[in-house]
Structure 1
Amino acid sequence: MTSSVADALVGRVIDGRYRILSHLADGGMASVYVALDGRLDREVALKIMRPGLATDDVFVERFRAEARSAARLSHPNVVAVFDQGEDDGEVFLAMELVEGKTLRDVIHEEAPLTAREALAILEPILLALRAAHVAGMIHRDVKPENVIVRRDGEVKVADFGLARAITNQAATSQTGVLLGTVSYLSPEQVERGVADTRSDVYAAGLLLFEMLTGRKAVTGGTPIQIAYNHVHGSIVTPSSVVPGVPAELDDLVAHATALEPEDRFDSAAAFVAALRAVRRGLSADELDRRGTAVVPDPATTSVLPADSSTTQASPAARPRRADLPTAPERHRTRPNEVGRAALAGLPVHDDAPALEHTAAMPIDRRAGRRGRWPLWLAAVLVLVGGAFGGWWFTMGPGGSTVVPAVVGQPISQAVGAMEQASLSVETVEEFSEGKAKGVVLRVEPGAGSELGKESTVRVVVSKGRERYAVPKLVGTRLNGAGAALSPLTLRLGDRAQDWSETVPEGVVISQDPAPGESVRRNTAVSVVVSRGRQPIEVPTVTGAPFDAASAAITKAGLTVRRGEDVNSDAVPAGQVVSQSPDKGTLHRGDAVTVVVSKGPVMVQVPNVVDQPDTAAEKTLTDLGFKVDKQYPFGELFEKKVRAQSLAAGTSVPKGSTISLTIV
């Protein structure tokens, strides 16, 4: 971002909240500004991604990852991230504005540091890394530019933008590009592209070396040479560069920067424990002895290569200002507002304070720290310093304050009370069944706790009752119902089954609670699942009167289809002769076809009286009658029909028997 573009943003309001006051610095991914948070009336550092990168999804995601990573950490020695968002194409990150110097500036102006000073700075760095490691994160880019020493001496670790969750071995490269600053990369990051908590330990060990000597521990003419020396070289002892550095610190550096990860401290917690043990074992003289770096031999280097024939010139004992890297992390300093660091003679506790809020080195002293001042000037400074110190540690920024009681108050009122008590607020939301949204549930530390001014208090605010809208499960398959409920913290309850003529088998017919109903976390949603269409046993109605047969079929849930009636000699008219199907199962609404009897075939009886017996018999049999011939007087006469048993003209069933009287 050019200076003109950067200056053009000054005065603009971002996201309706952050008014940009001034331009601080430019980095590889973003430019940084001092902005006024209009909502909370406080200054913040506003990091805005470069316009060319704001359209790159990969860079935007990495930029947002910085906010997510840092927001997970709540620790006095970690630069707080307040907000993240996008406004009219400007992707931004709002952070705590830390007024002070980077550790790079302190090393450049003050190193070599005394053992007391170096350990006083390193301890809060390790405490910040320990908090990250406990939270399951590794920083992966620990370097002096990412460490800020506030004007009151507070040490803060910044830029968790490269932080990643700890797995067995977290990858340190993306699309083949190694992430991190090459001078502080561990051998395993260079060689295998993996990192864990011990990689942060390695970088912290390099910081200790640099503070004790004023030189980088691993150098080279090119990034490739530096990376090679990480893998194939070894770190020289600080005492070989600055005579008088205690041997215990040599051992501490060696342990932290061992080539193999398993030979190092396994975490920042182990490193800080060893640091405290070393400090307790050193005398006051050893802690406060200030050495001078020896002029390096051109044939030597801070790194001893494994191949003794490979050497490179080390940098001068005091790097020139022009040689210092310009890093994006410089945005956390307020230029031209801070004096040089006063490092000597500051007492350091053997064990960390209860809140581990370590004030390492107030930055108040002028440049001539090693000269002998006239006694009269020293006396004046003592008087002035006493008055100033009394103000500083009482009413001034160095004083203490008490956490006010704000539980039960609206968050806006609570923030005002905290700011009036000279405390910063970090808000965290959580659900509450008993408190309305926006009401303070608790504060950490609790009300009445005594803290240093400008300390950060964690305020937990109610998000209201935790409720979730029940999703619609009706019409979905049972095996997908659980997946639909899980993201809403709901669970699948009782599962009943029922027949359904319209819903396929395995699909939810109904649910309780109903879709859209607001319920609590972990509420069980019961469902009724379709078994498909219900099978119905076909009733037997053959031989039954049609009306009775039709009623039986309809009652079973089936429909009646009447086929063409047929004559039947065996089945009386109106009764069912046959049905189809006559057994098995059907589904509701399916049809059963029945055939109804019309009874036997009816034939009109002819008149055969006075006909010869043979002719009469033939006439009747041709019509389907049966003939019974009677000869009352024998067969002596003419053999004519004199009478018939069924009267002529009547209709009788075919096959009926007609008796003939023949004389």
Structure 2
Amino acid sequence: MTPAPEDPMIGRLIDGRYQVKSRIARGGMATVYLATDLRLERRVAVKIMHGHLADDSAFKARFVQEARSAARLAHPNVVNVFDQGQDSDMAYLVMEYLPGITLRDLLKDYGKLTPEQTVDIMDAVLRGLAAAHESGIVHRDLKPENVLLADDGRIKLGDFGLARATTANTASGQALLGTIAYLSPELLTRGVADARSDIYAIGIMIYEMLTGEQPFKGEQPMQVAYQHANDKVPAPSSANPAVPTELDDIVAWATTRSPEGRPENAGILLDKLLQAEKGIRTGSTYSDLSTQQTMIMPAGMLVGSDDETAAYSTGALAGLNRKISVDHPVEALKEVSAGRRTKGFWIFGLTIVLALLGATAGWFFSSGPGSLSVIPAVAGLAPADAQAVIEKQGFTTELAEQNDSTVAKGKVIGTDPPEGTAVRNGSTIKVIVSAGPKIIDTPAFAGMKDTDATAKAKEVGFVVKDPVTQFSADVATGVVISALGPDGAALPAQYPVGGEVQFVVSLGAVPTVAGMSAADATKTLTDAGLVVGSTSEEFSDTVAAGSVISLSVPEGVVTPGTNVSLVISKGPDLVQVPNVSTGSMDFNEAIAALQAAGFSYSTDVDPGLFDRRTVKTQTPAAGKMEKRGSNVFISF
């Protein structure tokens, strides 16, 4: 079997910063890769749009806008968006990397989830979605594939932005079923969506999590779409009797066909879910937090039960009987009672200690040092302002400098850990301040192959613009003539990392076309990118008629599109020799006729002595075609 070709993106350095390591997943709109951010030395997920979508300018514009909106969401239940840009024709999005699985993977493995598991996951999903809705962002592509379950237990909602950016190139057929199964009736019938459309998708996801299947099925997407638009979503309990009525009510409310009948946003549905959770937990193996949990005590610790034999072994009971029979019965009973009180006090004390430990642990992890807070966004602030914002959240801070070509010197680049990360209260957060771009010695690009120069420039951190080309008789084809900065001047000896570089690459010498036919010369020059603007003709004794004598190019730099002109040969300049040997022409008349025709003359007789004698012979003979200016010999 022929192995699959290696992904050309593996190993590529994107925008001089992100080194692609491996492919994580491929979808209908983009491919996600694991990469290393060389600047911040961390692993990230880079999502790269498919080429046919990147060619759509409207798609790219909305992609950028939605990516910026998603990047503003700083919430522990939303996948962080770090960066967005374009490298050549490739649009990309840089996100937080979360090793783990998706909710779709979990459903494939387990079929369906318990009500408690469903509530736990949807609690996190709705918190992230509520933050999006508060920021005016509608997801529009909610489905189990976009819920990420990290290995460390975090639950995050991803793929903000791509859903809103999709306009052209929609999927069809079986590939559409994964998305159409969660689309609201108004999206299917009118193509409009708001936060309530996301709520509908949440209701369908809850149904699927509880039952292990989607409420509407069909062999064709249109069959599924028709059911969404016209049928009521059934109660999950109709497929799984273990589903409590509280979740049936939530699914019915979220999937009401009319948007007006649904919650206005995810925050409202989250409140309903939290209210329902109390009843769900009480009705399951969980107990309400206000009720003391049952504790299983060790044998011999059961005091005050109806059956005294439950507190003592057979031997202990026998010993008690012996003591009562020997000593005074009242004193014996006092001793047994005192023993019971001692054990009762010990158990009461242990219960108090355990309660105190539980309360302390609850305080530590809820509002004490062990609780979690989200690192706020401070990029672009002055260092002191950023520290104030972070310390207000209960953290301590320290400053660190880092070169950056995009953030002004003295401004905050970001934090370590990154903004949006949930960390323990009191943790030290590193505030990374820009030291401006790093200045390095400019490599000697001139004389390199253009591909090698581009690789070198990206390696050192320059931003490489598309090259310009020009003809050069001194530099081989494909070799860099010079490297220019954004002002069009040659790069200085030292240049900042992140600065723009544009290479001037040689096309070699202007093609030699002398001796070619006019048609062949014109094609050769046109293929080279030059424009043949005009032609002229000249006589030539050495170049055949119709062939090129010379090429005329303007002075200075010659680039593709430059106008050039051709000089075409008319061949030798031949004229007919006049007849001066008729016997009736004297010398002076013959000379005048030859000169008028463009010839010179010679003779072996002194013309001064015989200027009135008639010409008898001539060479070449009259009527022959000879080169203009050639000699005709005459005699008398």
Using the size of structure 2 for normalisation, the TM-score is 0.46
Which structure shows the higher helix fraction? 2
Which structure has the larger Rg over C-alpha atoms? 1
